[in-house]
Structure 1
Amino acid sequence: MAEPAPASDFPGVQLHIVTGKGGTGKSTVAASLALALASRGKTVLLCEVEGRQGIAQLFDVPPLPYEERLLARATEKDHGNVYALAIDAESALLEYLAMYYRLGRAGKALDRFGVIDFATTIAPGVRDVLLTGKVYEAAQRNSRNKNARTYDAIVLDAPPTGRITQFLNVNNELAGLAKVGPIKAQADTVTTLLRSSRTAVHLVTVLEEMPVQETVDGVNELRSAGMPVGGVVVNLVRPQDLDEPAREQLLAGSVDTKALGKALTSAGVKAPMSMVPTLVAEGRDHAERRRLEDSQRSLVEEIGVPTYELPQLAGGADLAGLYELAAELIEQGLA
């Protein structure tokens, strides 16, 4: 009988926001987290807001429209499903006008005249308000929302770390500008959700100096803005092929090359002695890389939030790889 999965570190969180420096694999982590949550029996909405169609590429499906689409169906009876949505500001504004101001055809007419594009370009903050507003709408659904699917969990593939605090705090800034009326009420309710215990902002990094420093800065900015920081996911972790004594010998330059040559021969590796110095040099590079990673790992641990590590996948982040990473997130307690 299989052992039960470890308990989640974030049992009360509905909205999981995933951010990270470009190149750290935040979209891969967001997709894996959505699959992990679905494996716990939840109906999950995986959203993206950057217009890159990263979700479609990861799951090898056609570009996503502004419509919630089934992305991954449960393969076991007790598991949930993953739906996906690519949110764009223009479509979100048209939906907002239709829902709250009943401007169905009038809203489309505004779109034809380019007013919507003008508004979201001239005031970039408006775009972020609309994007976060759509996420809020999906999170607030209940049985009173006619024919609307409700979600146990929402995973947002959010903007990069350098912009995440501004992105999430834009509704609070808007509420400060609009003192009364429906705009202020809407901004206040979105801000309340984003700052509540129902939300967690997870940061993705790799064990390199710049991404780790940006993660540290991002956590400090989020905390200063009153946003709920979740965990830090260390992604693309390389296998550790050397034990401590071997690393120390390589870094100190004290490897016995003759003994190494004999060991290769004993292992059936036919290599001339001239290759041994090259192998030692490669081993030293690996050991130096490991030392750098260990120093960055220590900095991540000092942030003071739960940390998780995902391996670098030999075959890349295909669908099978996403499920592999999802299993890791469940085992380590993020999902």
Structure 2
Amino acid sequence: MTGRWEQRRLHIVTGKGGTGKTTVAAAMATALARAGKTVLIAEVEGRQGISQAFDVPPLSTDETPVARGLNGGSITGLSVDAKAALLEYLQMFYKLGRAGGMLEHFGVVDFATTIAPGVRDVLLIGKVYEAVRRRDERRGHKGEYPYDAVVLDAPPTGRIGKFLNVNAEFAGLAKMGPLHNQADSIMQLLHSAQTAVHVVTLLEEMPVQETVEAVEELRGLGLPVGELIINRVREPLLSDRARGMVRSAAAGGRAKTRDLIAEDLQAAKVRVTAAMVDGLLDTAVNLDQRLALQDTEREDLAGLALPTTELPAIPGGVDAGALRELADVLLKSGAI
């Protein structure tokens, strides 16, 4: 069975800060590798979240192996740095050699990548673009792509539109030249069927609101929105019968509900006290209210009409085993 986005070569993962987009990006790379693909996972914010997710040393501007998958799959990591990318472009297009180092020494590179954010974004995405389009020209490799897929841990939803809309952000800075041509080529890739922009959210009001706004922005820019990934979904814990009892208590039937809870506990041969019953009922009421809020947020997300995968909350934090668990969910859901 082929996943919905398995054939895309560039997977861009965004989400409001705190939703776990880096973890999801790592899980997506793991899922692709478990499907036998060679994967590059790249970050552009310098937070080293990818190395923490895979429990490996900090990534560098060199592509570094970080994990192995099944059936020959593998994951390579890359931390994209705007200054290093600019020096690389200066050498590639203008053959500056040692002069490039002098520009860095005098602060020109810092100036170009800080004062002109459009340039910075072109450089950052340009490295990812190069990885997607690169061909292996070694003898016997017949020019195939070294990576089957590239996963980009992108900036959060509040900045994703500007980050990906590099042509508009860069238009006033250069009308021609290598960087201008690079921006055009990047936009062609981002708008093509090779790309999918996946959005990560939680079933909470602020992340859902920002997700809805981000999806609308991405669609307005003509960018291909992929999977909606609802992260850290908790098991409901309450059965339909239990939720009915809780709502009856909230509606004024607390005494009757207390009696029903006490009867159930006694049937299970549990020593019952009034404090125990009240504590259980209060906890259940709070849980039911949170579940009701989650149901409301799900309805708002359903209005986006996007294929959706829910990832479970992993108690105790995310490690290699948790990444494999999340990857398996992505595979089983048909996302990958």
Q: Conserved in 2, the CA contact under 8 Å of 1:230 and 1:306?
A: yes
Q: Distance in 1 between matches of 2:163 and 2:292?
A: 35
8 Å Cα contact 2:229/2:308 also seen in 1: yes
The answer to whether 1:236 aligns with 2:237 is no
Following TM superposition, where does structure 1 have runs of at least 4 consecutive aligned residues deviating by more than 6 angstroms?
145-149
Structure-2 separation of matches of 1:269 and 1:23: 40
Structure 2: distance between partners of 1:104 and 1:59: 35
SS in 2 for 1:180: coil
CA contact (8 A) 1:19 1:161 kept: yes
Q: 1:3 corresponds to which residue? A: none
Correspondence 1:44 to 2:45: no
Tell me how far 1:201 sits from its aligned partner: 0.3
| Partner SS for 1:103 | coil
SS in structure 1 of the partner of residue 137 of structure 2? coil
Q: Deviations over 1:243-286 (max 9, x none)?
A: 22321321231352123123223324334222201110100111
Partner of 2:53: 58
The answer as to whether partners of 2:118 and 2:169 remain within 8 angstroms in 1 is no
Identity of matched residues, %: 52
TM-score (norm 2): 0.93
Distance 1:96 1:277, change over 3 A: same
Q: Which runs of no fewer than 5 residues in structure 2 stay unpaired?
A: none
Give the CA deviation at 1:172.
Answer: 4.1
Listed one character per residue, the Cα deviations across residues 188-240 of structure 1 (whole Å, up to 9, x for unaligned) are 10110011110000000000111111101000000111111111100000101
How far off its partner does 1:177 sit? 5.0
Equivalent in the alignment of 1:312: 313
* In structure 1, C-alpha distance between the alignment counterparts of 2:270 and 2:79, rounded to whole Å: 52
1:186 aligned onto 2:187: no
Structure 1 equivalent of residue 155 of structure 2: 159
Distance of 2:50 and 2:97 partners within structure 1: 29
Q: Among 117, 120, 141, which residue is 2:113 paired with?
A: 120
1:72-107 deviations in whole A, cap 9, x for unaligned?
013x4x140000001111111112222222223221
Q: What displacement does 1:175 show?
A: 4.4
Q: Which of the numbers 64, 67, 70 marks the counterpart of 1:72?
A: 67
Is 1:103 equivalent to 2:96 in the alignment? yes
Answer with 13-22 or 298-307: which moved more: 298-307
Kept in 1: contact 2:122–2:179 (CA 8 A): no
Matched positions, count: 328
Which whole-Å CA distance do the structure 2 matches of 1:139 and 1:156 have between them?
11
Match of 2:333 in 1: 332
Q: CA deviation at 1:334?
A: 1.3
> Aligned in 2, Cα 1:270/1:91: closer, same or farther, shift over 3 Å?
farther
Q: Which residue of 1 aligns with 2:281?
A: 280
**2:258–2:277 CA contact under 8 A, matched in 1:** yes
Distance in 2 of aligned mates of 1:270 and 1:293: 34
Aligned to 2:147, the other structure's residue is in SS state coil
Q: Is 126-135 or 238-247 further displaced after alignment? A: 238-247
Is 1:291 paired with 2:284?
no
Corresponding position: 1:35 with 2:30: yes
Change (3 A) 1:18 1:325: same
Q: Distance in 2 between matches of 1:185 and 1:259?
A: 72
Distance 1:151 1:172 in 2: 29
What does 1:119-268 align with in structure 2 at a 5 Å threshold? 119-144=112-137, 150-175=146-171, 178-253=174-249, 254=253, 256-268=257-269
